[in-house]
Chains A and B, each alone.
Chain A
């Protein structure tokens, strides 16, 4: 018998990873194209649920805001601007953190006017170095719906939110 000359050739086992980077970059491009960063933030707001026994905010005790048709607003019956809000409410909320605040917006007033007032009031919870008051508790803000306004009108004959506080 002759000498065996054919050596069995050993093949190294390997997993081909050359295309992995291609797949990875394809996924990167996909996520880059579909991702959204900044457009999904807003003012959170809690609606009162109907089953809760909600005590109506006392009109006389409350700080009343009235947003007008041109986007301006009145604070306790006097015309005011955005910068006036925090200095006005700060001492009142320090004395009584649960003081009711009512934001009544006239039907034809712009939505941005109401957001402006609500945003400024929400700033009370921001730290002082960020322009807030550093109050931990959310202010007791109520925004009457027109259904409620009509109910008041039916009961009292006038819209109490349009009346000036005496």
Chain B
């Protein structure tokens, strides 16, 4: 009796769909990505109501260093850079507002900044013709005071 030869199956991992998965992931990240124009670490105030910051918003950052409030600014395209004082900040804000008065401005500030500093910035923004501002916050969770 003749023995039948066992057919050999070649072992392989199908990789044809890998590129599809990869491109799907690329599209996902491209759509959800927002380039961070400011990476200053601050302890933001907390809130329940939080709206998405539109792409291209300008940033005014108030941070504290050794108890002294410092300012940073970004026009929404460039990375944020330090500005020495409020009048220098105003020059930057006016330049952005003159280009497009509908640009939203994000105020990113430490939660324990005294309100006087925030008022100075808000008043300056208002004088510069800015109307849309967003106070950057963190999500308030259960148990937060």
Q: Which of B45, B52, B106, B131 has the most CB of A within 10 A?
A: B45
Is B30 a contact of A31 with CB atoms below 8 Å?
A: yes
Q: Knowing A34-B33, A40-B52, A145-B123, say if A119 contacts B19 (CB, 8 Å).
A: no
Main secondary structure of the interface of B (DSSP, over half): mixed
Which B residues lie within 8 Å of A105 (CB)?
115, 119
Q: Knowing A119-B140, A122-B49, say if A24 contacts B23 (CB, 8 Å).
A: yes
Q: Knowing A49-B131, A119-B137, say if A107 contacts B49 (CB, 8 Å).
A: no
Which residue of chain B lies nearest to A37 when distances are taken between CB atoms in the complex?
Answer: B32
Is A43 a contact of B47 with CB atoms below 8 Å?
A: yes
Which A residues lie within 8 Å of B106 (CB)?
42
Which A residues lie within 8 Å of B132 (CB)?
44, 46-47
Interface size on A, residues (CB 8 A): 51
Bound CA–CA A108/B49 (angstroms)? 25
Return the contact of A108 from the options B25, B34, B116, B126 (Cβ within 8 A).
B116
Which A residues lie within 8 Å of B127 (CB)?
50
Residues of A whose CB lies within 8 Å of any CB of B are 17, 20-21, 24-25, 27-28, 31-32, 34-50, 67, 105-116, 118-120, 122-123, 125-126, 131, 143, 145-147
Q: How far is the CB of A143 from chain B (nearest CB, A)?
A: 8
Q: Knowing A36-B34, A42-B51, A119-B137, say if A47 contacts B114 (CB, 8 Å).
A: no
Return the contact of A44 from the options B34, B51, B110, B117 (Cβ within 8 A).
B51
Bound CA–CA A28/B20 (angstroms)? 12
Is A146 a contact of B22 with CB atoms below 8 Å?
A: no
